[in-house]
Structure 1
Amino acid sequence: MDILGKNILLIAKPFGLTSFAITNRVKKILNAKKAGHIGTLDPMATGLMIVVLNSATRFIPYIDTDEKRYVIQIQFGIETDTDDITGSIINQKDSVVTIEEIKRVLDQFIGIIEQIPPDYSAKKFKGKPFYKYARQGEIIKKKPCQVEIHKMSIISFHCNKLVLDITCSKGTYMRSIARDMGRALGTFATLSAITRLSIGRFCISDATTFGRIKSGNFDKGFLAADQAIDLPVFFVKEADRFKNGLDITVDKVVVRDEKGVFIGIGRYKDGKVHPEKVLNEDI
């Protein structure tokens, strides 16, 4: 099914399902020939997922996913083998942290930081995901990965459970943040809940649900490929040449701002647009 050429779907993932299960369900409901997803979420996670259908799957690398936002809950006092509440407890400490102690260590987790991925993660070693080694009882020594935490703020703290609002670079593990924050406080911690609020410029408030698409309601969550790609736009007259894989010579281009307002004529060369004639209403 092609929803008026809109083959990119923002959907709210419910608790308990894998990202692959979500993708396959959407594919089946919409009778799509091909489907993929952006931004894998663990089964315990809820929130925004992007599912890409049919020919739009070839544009996945061009969709902005550099920044993500989450609300997470951290439970102090225990550490698990999966670094989340679904795992088996491997360390435990009967201690209660305070909000003052948390505030003192929070800055350690803001900016460019290094973190070690969880043992149960999809990152690969010799072509095999870490979680497959872990399930076989083999723990692979992992190198720290550099990630960036843009913002981190406390929402609440109650009964040894901390709720944080985090905006970060892609590839950041919330489970690692929970584990490492516990250790920084001289105790243990694990991730007990997680919801993704946004991926790039796409927000959970714009997402649809299984219930809506099952009932045939397609008025929310569907995007065309060009709506999801934040790149300069070229309108070409020789469309057939382009579709057949042939080059199109581009010299001068009409330039518009982000609101679509005409601002001048540019000359395109070597990947750059040089202003040739600029519309300046102040002159």
Structure 2
Amino acid sequence: MDGIINIDKSSGMTSFDVVRRLKRILKMKKIGHTGTLDPMATGILVICTGRATRLAQDIEGQRKTYIAGFELGYKTTTYDTEGEITHRTDKGAKREELEKALENFRGEIDQIPPMYSALKVNGKRLYELAREGKEVERKSRRVTIENLEILDFDGRKGTFTCTVSKGTYIRSLIYDIGELLGTYGVMTSLRRTQVGEYTLDIAYTLEEIEDMMGKEDYSFSKSIEESFLYPTIEISGEKNIKLFNNGNTLIYEKEDGRYRIYNDKKFLGLAEVKKCRLKGYKYYNV
């Protein structure tokens, strides 16, 4: 099975837990996810299977939309409710103060990743260092907050929706908003509602997939052809087909970009054109 599966992850599972369970359900080894969700988070986790795993970075790089719950007035080691509380304050905020603070976080911003994250420093993951009681300097990185809107807020607790670029930590965003307000902010819930074109209305729980597999219904998996709706190029001639299938370069007068490649309406794979040079994208061929 080579394809893309849109999972609606439940709370309490790591992204790797989802992959391990899918390996058992699908009875296959080559499975990978396209962007980690914390255990407490729910929602979309896009999974690649078989040869589609080569294309995981393409999906991981797409923008993501979340609905996040937050609370002001205390700080934890993890920036969410799963961490140890380290500071408290009675200070909340008025809605207009929060609205004004959010103006500073829309667009391109510099964000420092939290200590409790899977990023590596000198070969060791940050959360491993954090569990040892160590805190190291983290470099800020540029991320984009395309949309950030309050859904509800009572002066202490609230929710907002946001659409962000790859690498954005919602926990850190809430922490930084709290800092700007002169208080503390903690993430209380997180649901990922969209990754690129993948939405919750076309997502499946693990239980649903297991049930469908029992009925030999594989409609939960989308093919590479369906998942990457790039423009098409039709190639002909045994020599060109052989060159493409072997990952060689073809000369083709097309605009730069990514394409789906066909021969006699049969899907062959994906390719990228740069300066009229066509090559199988990420060496993906059917």
- In which range does the TM-score fall when normalised by the shorter chain? 0.7 to 0.9
**Can you list the C-alpha shifts for 1:74-103, whole angstroms capped at 9, x where unaligned?**
111111001111000111102232212111
Give the TM-score taking structure 2 as reference length: 0.83
CA contact (8 A) 1:64 1:201 kept: no
Match for residue 278 of structure 1?
Answer: none
Structure-to-structure mapping, 1:108-257, within 5 angstroms: 108-158=104-154, 160-216=156-212, 218=217, 221-237=220-236, 238-251=240-253
User: Take 1:50 and 1:252, find their aligned partners in 2: how far apart are those partners?
Assistant: 31
Contact 2:249 2:277 in 1 (8 A): no
Shift in alpha-carbon separation, 1:126–1:65, aligned structure 2, 3 A: same
Secondary structure (helix, strand or coil) at the match of 1:215 reads helix
Q: Say if 1:150 and 1:167, in contact at 8 Å, map to a contact too.
A: yes
Aligned residue number for residue 44 of structure 1? 40
Gaps of 5+ in 1: 254-267, 274-283
Aligned counterparts of 2:229 and 2:123: Cα–Cα separation in 1: 32
Residues 53, 105 of structure 1: CA spacing in aligned structure 2 closer, same or farther, 3 A cutoff?
A: same
Partner of residue 78 from structure 1, selected from 74, 80, 87: 74
Superimposed CA distance per residue, residues 216-249 of structure 1 (whole angstroms, 9 cap, x where no aligned partner): 2646542111322253322222433322334434
- Pick one of 272, 275, 281 that aligns with 1:270: 275
Runs of at least 4 residues off by over 6 Å: none
The separation in 2 between residues aligned to 1:269 and 1:24, in whole angstroms, is 38
Distance 1:245-1:272 versus aligned 2 partners, 3 A rule = closer
Residues 15 and 33 of structure 2 are in contact (CA less than 8 Å); yes or no, is this contact kept in structure 1? yes
Q: In the alignment, residue 91 of structure 1 is paired with which amino acid?
A: H
In structure 2, do the counterparts of structure 1 residues 42 and 242 end up closer, same or farther at CA, with 3 Å as the change threshold? same
Correspondence for 1:13: 9
Q: Check the 8 A contact 1:156/1:164 in 2, yes or no.
A: yes
Q: Deviations over 1:119-164 (max 9, x none)?
A: 1011111122111111111111112111110011111113611200
Whether contact under 8 Å (1:121, 1:130) holds in the other structure is yes
TM-score, length-normalised on structure 1?
0.84
- Structure 1 residue 251, shift from structure 2 partner: 4.8
State the SS of the aligned residue for 2:46: strand
CA distance in 2: counterparts of 1:192 and 1:74, whole angstroms: 5
- Across the two proteins, how many residue pairs are aligned to each other? 257
8 Å Cα contact 1:147-1:172 kept in structure 2: yes
What amino acid sits opposite 1:111 in the alignment? G
Q: Percent identity?
A: 34
* Counterparts of 1:89 and 1:139, CA distance in 2: 16
